[in-house]
Structure formats: structure tokens, C-alpha cells
């Protein structure tokens, strides 16, 4: 498609379960970003990929969070043993190069019961 695609759009799961969130960036975009938007808050940077590598993982909130990107395209954000405080909208963005404007997906709304 023309834009950044994220799936699922909504995810409801029980505390303690693992979840996987998927991001399909715009074709040809080398840079990919994950953010978290909690209710009433701004965007919290989680991780950035340049190609398949992640030079900076410092934004990941805990070791329960991990992300990978394969083939320089699709990225998956995994949250293990989910907690209620993980409930948020997880946004993915991509840009053609690191210094270019980011294009955002519609996000995945994650609710932990």
C-alpha cells in the first residue's frame, strides 16, 4: 500500500500473555520507528531501525519488550508477559532516510485486562 500499515488495529489480551505487533513500512523506506502513546500522553520513543539493525534500543521500557526487522522491511514488536501498564497505542513510523519526515501508521491499540 501507499502508507505505513500496522496490524492488528486493536488487540485485547489478558495480563501475562505475549503479544506481537506488526508494522509494514512504506516500500523503500530504510528507517523504521516504534513509539508508544499512552492515554493523554505524548509519544514515547521505543526503538529505531536503520535497515535491519537497531542502533538504539534505549527507549524500550523493560526487557519484556523486543523488536526485530527482517529484510529491511516488516518489523515486529513483541511484548512478553504483558502488564496492565503496557496498555497504550503503539505507533510505527517510517522514513526514506533517517533525516526525512516520518510517516505514521494508524497504530495498534493494545488493551491488557
Partner 1 sequence: GNSVTQMEGPVTLSEEAFLTINCTYTATGYPSLFWYVQYPGEGLQLLLKATKADDKGSNKGFEATYRKETTSFHLEKGSVQVSDSAVYFCALRDTGGFKTIFGAGTRLFVKA
Does 77 engage in binding with partner 1 (CB under 8 A)?
A: no
d(CA 10, CA 109): 5
DSSP structure class, residue 4: -
Chosen residue from 7, 13, 22, 43 binding partner 1 by CB under 8 A: 43
Chosen residue from 18, 45, 62, 81 binding partner 1 by CB under 8 A: 45
Does 50 engage in binding with partner 1 (CB under 8 A)?
A: yes
Which residues are at the interface with partner 1 (CB under 8 A)?
3-4, 31, 33, 35, 40-43, 45, 48, 50, 55-56, 59, 91, 93, 98-99, 101-107
Amino acid at each position: 500500500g501507499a502508507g505505513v500499515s500496522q496490524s492488528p488495529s486493536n488487540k485485547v489480551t489478558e495480563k501475562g500473555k505475549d503479544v506481537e505487533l506488526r508494522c509494514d513500512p512504506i516500500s523503500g523506506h530504510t528507517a523504521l520507528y516504534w513509539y508508544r502513546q499512552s492515554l493523554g500522553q505524548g509519544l514515547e520513543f521505543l526503538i529505531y531501525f536503520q535497515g535491519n539493525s537497531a542502533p538504539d534500543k534505549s527507549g524500550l521500557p523493560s526487557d519484556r519488550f523486543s523488536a526485530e526487522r527482517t529484510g529491511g522491511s516488516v518489523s515486529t514488536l513483541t511484548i512478553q508477559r504483558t502488564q496492565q501498564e503496557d496498555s497504550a497505542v503503539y505507533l510505527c513510523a517510517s522514513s526514506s532516510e533517517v533525516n526525512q519526515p516520518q510517516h505514521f501508521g494508524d497504530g495498534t491499540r493494545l488493551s491488557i485486562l
